[in-house]
Amino acid sequence: MKIPSFKDLILFENDEVIVINKPPLVASVDERTGGEINMLRMAKGYWDDAQICHRLDKETSGALIFAKTPEAYRSISMQFEHREVKKIYHAVIDGTHAFDNKLVDLPIANLGKGNVVIDKYEGKRAETVFTAIKFYKHFTLVECLPKTGRMHQIRIHLATQRASIVADEMYGGKYPMLSKFKKGYRLAKDEVEQPLIRRFALHAYEVSFKLLNGEILTVKADYPKDFATLLKLLDKFDM
């Protein structure tokens, strides 16, 4: 996958912050294996003093905030700590689910090495609100509003509702295959069907936070090509 230049990913920039539309399948920071390109490394190549203010899972696309100054970094970090940053995600989930401001309030325990579980005794408070945006025969496009910022929060909370994000194998999601819902679908001889999306379909659609002057900045991130293509095919064949 060809990664655009950092400059081409920028959605908003001023003297304090940079907000980008992170591509899918690119890590936010250095991973244990090292060597791979990541968003923080790209940001520092664009602005020497750039600091990342939060993280998105490698497979998740969408709005990601960088601070250009120590003052901006401290301010945004405090806003995250006090739950003052509003983040809206969009996800495509398995099945039809009529969520209408559905609050999932289930504590999450981090077991390390990228593993989390719902644990009512050892877990930390985690709240997410879900609202269905669009219904398909076999899927739902849903808005996810996390009130807290636990690892894999949206993914595991959806899984508890039997509404796993498509292609999220870790939490029971299945890869969406066109043959499952397109009538008359046929493969050519010796052809192997490919999934409609190769990573879990979660996108950080919008983020809102305060600038140093107190002004609230809201930035929206368009869907990347793979997410948009998935929805286009569902619109055409699964309505």
Residue type, 222: D
Please write the tens of the pLDDT for every residue from 117-152. 999 999 999 999 999 999 999 999 999 999 999 999
Distance between CA 9 and CA 194 in Å, rounded? Answer: 28
Q: What pLDDT sits at residue 16?
A: 97
CATH class of 6-237: alpha beta
In tens digits, what is the pLDDT along the chain, a chain of 239 residues?
688 999 999 999 999 999 999 999 999 998 765 568 899 999 999 999 999 999 999 999 999 999 999 999 999 999 999 999 999 999 999 999 999 999 999 999 999 888 899 999 999 999 999 999 999 999 999 999 999 999 999 999 999 999 999 999 999 999 999 999 888 888 888 889 999 999 999 999 999 999 999 999 999 999 999 999 999 999 999 99
- For the chain, the average pLDDT equals 95
The residues spanned by each domain of the chain are 6-237
Q: Show which residues are catalytic.
A: 57
If we measure between CA atoms, which residue out of 64, 165, 148, 70 comes closest to residue 108?
A: 148
- Cβ atoms of 93 and 165 within 8 Å: the answer is yes
Handedness of CA 107, 171, 205, 150 (dihedral sign): positive
Write down the pTM of the prediction. 0.95
Distance between CA 17 and CA 10 in Å, rounded? Answer: 11
- Cβ atoms of 93 and 140 within 8 Å: the answer is yes
- Cβ atoms of 93 and 166 within 8 Å: the answer is yes
Distance between CA 168 and CA 173 in Å, rounded? Answer: 4
| DSSP bridge pairs for 87 | 207
